[in-house]
């Protein structure tokens, strides 16, 4: 599971929407650090258009629990980048839920909480 998360970071840094699309289920949703409900389509669109650019992605305190074909990953992300041209940086504590389908893990949900 950690390797999936590290692959996701690389895909984000390179704006590789093809790789990201494979890692995320069509029904994926997230609750962003701002409390917004976002879908897979929202994220892929923003990354593909350049509206969201990640410059650094660093993970800390990753922990994984696997329950059959469901896995829960939690950790801290410290990211920098731009959102619609405005720079951002900061840490979030997050949880991502994965489901194993056809032998691979796909994210189905995520929640983020900003850290001070």
d(CA 113, CA 94): 6
Sequence-distant (≥ 6) Cβ neighbours of residue 3 within 8 angstroms: none
CA 98 to chain centre: 11
Chain segment 91-101, per-residue pLDDT in tens = 999 999 999 99
Q: What is the pLDDT of residues 37-55, one digit of tens each?
A: 999 999 999 999 999 999 9
Model-level pTM? 0.91
What token pair was written down for 39?
A: 């879908």
Per-residue confidence (pLDDT) for residue 10, from 0 to 100: 95
| pLDDT of residue 113 exceeding 90 | yes
So what CATH class is 2-114? alpha beta
């Amino acid at each position: 599971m950690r390797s999936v998360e590290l692959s996701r970071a690389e895909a984000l840094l390179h704006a590789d929407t093809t790789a990201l699309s494979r890692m995320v289920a069509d029904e994926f949703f997230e609750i962003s650090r701002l409390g917004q409900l976002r879908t897979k389509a929202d994220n892929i669109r923003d990354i593909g258009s350049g509206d969201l650019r990640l410059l650094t992605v660093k993970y800390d305190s990753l922990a994984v629990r696997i329950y059959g074909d469901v896995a829960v990953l939690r950790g801290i992300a410290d990211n920098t980048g731009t959102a619609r041209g405005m720079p951002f940086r900061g840490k979030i504590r997050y949880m991502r839920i994965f489901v194993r389908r056809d032998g691979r893990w796909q994210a189905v949900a995520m929640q983020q909480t900003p850290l001070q």
